[in-house]
Copies of this chain bind each other. A is one copy, B any other.
């Protein structure tokens, strides 16, 4: 539990990629961090020494339990910070990522405990991602992609994935916030774009690309 800032960034990337695609290979990690493959390989050896990663030449990378825990705790700090910035400091959800990326490395349990307390122990961050618990454990509810839903269904927006600032600004301009109830009016077979109604908007068109990034839960 005494890793450099750089090591922390590798752990976090490993955790995030693994949560999407299960396994992690060097090329992917390299691309995701913007760091060349030989550098990644040598860092993997270091993290293996520290028992944070299972590493074998030419095999996919896997975090150890210890590695998962430490990565989870960094992500916990990241997501708590994002929530704090939005809820307490009144920033937009499109503006918090870069700041949280820095604050997640602050070494001070008390600081994050205070945040947690002030936020009344939130379960999710401003983008709907679950905040790992104090042991670094994180559980995603079984949301569906909006792009996988059927015409006629009514769903609630639960989370957004791949939270680029541009995408979040796009959602802002359409008043598409977490929690809105969305009625799927029709799905265009040609390009999978859909027409939805929600809030005051009765016929908003969303591309398939957008719908793949919107996680929703069924509404009875």
Contacts and interface: CB of A to CB of B under 8 A. Distances in A.
A42 interface: no
A106 to B, nearest CB: 5
Contacts of A91: 110, 114
A90 B111 CA distance: 10
Interface residues of A, number: 18
A168 to B, nearest CB: 16
A205 interface: no
B90 A99 contact: no
Contact of A108 (B102, B106, B110): B102
Given A89-B118, A118-B89, A106 B110 contact: no
A115 B99 CA distance: 13
Interface string A69-108: 0000000000000000100111100010011001100111
A97 to B, nearest CB: 11
How many monomers of this protein are in the complex?
2
Nearest to A90: B114
Contact of A95 (B98, B102, B107, B110): B110
Contacts of A110: 91, 95, 99
A119 to B, nearest CB: 11
Nearest to A118: B89
A99 B108 CA distance: 7
20 contacts: A85-B111, A88-B88, A89-B111, A89-B114, A89-B115, A89-B118, A90-B114, A91-B110, A91-B114, A95-B110, A98-B108, A99-B106, A99-B108, A99-B110, A99-B111, A102-B106, A102-B107, A102-B108, A103-B103, A103-B106
